[in-house]
Amino acid sequence: MWEYTEKMRDYFLNPRNVGEMKDADAVGEAGSLACGDALKLYLKVKDGVIADASFLTFGCASAIASGSALTEIVKGKTLDEAMTVSNSDIARYLDGLPKEKMHCSVMGREALEAAVRAYRGEPALPAGSEGRIVCKCFGVTEEQVVRAVRENNLTTAEDVTNFTKAGGGCGECLREIEAVIADVVSGKSGDAAEKGTAGAPAGLADWRKRKSAGAAPLSNVQRMQRVMTVLDEIIRPRLRQDGGDIELVDIDGRTVSVALRGTCTSCPSSRLTIEGFVQQTLQEQVEAGIVVREAVS
């Protein structure tokens, strides 16, 4: 049984602003029946301000509640303000959603953007309709994944599935999603969306290379080189953002010994940093069997 907040249950059982708006100035849609949820948002716009909003939802309880919350949030906002509403604003409005249901709030944000773009005469659907598809089961693009990772600070493929559904079907794209996350975390994805598909991000390029090369086991030298590259290019920049640093002490087979430096040394969650972020990144980027230990000085 999902744990829903009282407010979410209320917005599901007594949804506000339900129904088709015959004289709507803008309509935005997101989701699809095949995917199991869909949202249609209607806006009435007066002098650049959203005067009224209503919705129709096919979907589970949190999809209905998210649609209803969205209409309440945007009423009275200017179109520019509305465009800054994020999926987490919708989730927060409902006092939170179970993480497996976050994709319902993302659908709300997508419908809102679609409606505003339609009103402004801009091309429909900035996300989803174009760009490279990462998840074939749910038709999720790389840009949608990148955006969800950025806006919600996602770190695992499971998070991405919860927010976008990507990877929730056959699961074949999970490794690719991990590569996309690594790119965003390392800052390499830049603005992939704006640049189009021309400059495929480095982590992703690596991933493709590894994938096409098959799962040939790494030699010791190859492994060391890759560990050092990933530490330098992905892990260290991230730690430095928080005033920390990391030093490579030794690589013995698949065991990597590191020492944390800077603010990391006094950080109470340093163990989490090593086991979670450092080890996981190395496992994703270099080899699954890698174990990271903190070197004792």
Binding site for other proteins (CB under 8 A): 9, 12-13, 15, 18-19, 29, 33-34, 36-40, 56-64, 100-101, 103, 137-138, 161, 165, 168-169
Cα distance between residue 114 and residue 292, in whole Å:
45
Q: Determine the residue type at 190.
A: G
Instruction: Give the closest residue to 71 by CA, choosing from 26, 117, 102.
Output: 26
| Contact present, 284 and 267 (Cβ < 8 Å) | no
The helix, strand and coil proportions of the chain, stated in percent and rounded to the nearest 5, come to 50, 20, 35
Smallest gap from Cβ 166 to other proteins, in A, equals: 9
Residue 120 CB, nearest approach to other proteins (Å): 22
For other proteins, the closer of residues 18 and 228 by Cβ is 18
**Beta carbons within 10 angstroms of residue 84's beta carbon:** 9
Residue 26 parent element (H or E): strand 26-32
Nearer to other proteins, 39 or 82 (CB): 39
- Report the alpha-carbon distance of residue 217 to residue 57 in Å, rounded: 49
Closest to other proteins by CB, 13 vs 124, is: 13
Q: Which residues pair with 10 in a beta bridge?
A: none
For the CB of residue 178, give the shortest distance to other proteins in the complex, in Å.
18
> Residue 9: in which H helix or E strand, if any?
helix 6-13
Residue count (the chain): 297
* Least Cβ distance, residue 148 to other proteins (angstroms): 14
Q: Is 35 a catalytic residue?
A: yes
Least Å distance between CB 59 and other proteins? 5
- Annotation marks residue 173 as catalytic: no
Spatial contact of 82 and 120, defined as CB atoms under 8 Å apart: no
Check 60, 104, 170, 267 and give the catalytic one: 104
Closest to other proteins by CB, 40 vs 109, is 40
Nearest CB to other proteins, comparing residues 141 and 273:
141
Q: Return the amino acid letter for 294.
A: E
CB of 110 to other proteins, least distance (A): 14
Q: Which is nearer to other proteins, 20 or 252 (CB)?
A: 20
Are the C-beta atoms of 153 and 200 separated by less than 8 Å?
no
Tokens 């009275």 correspond to what residue? 76
Active site residues: 35, 104
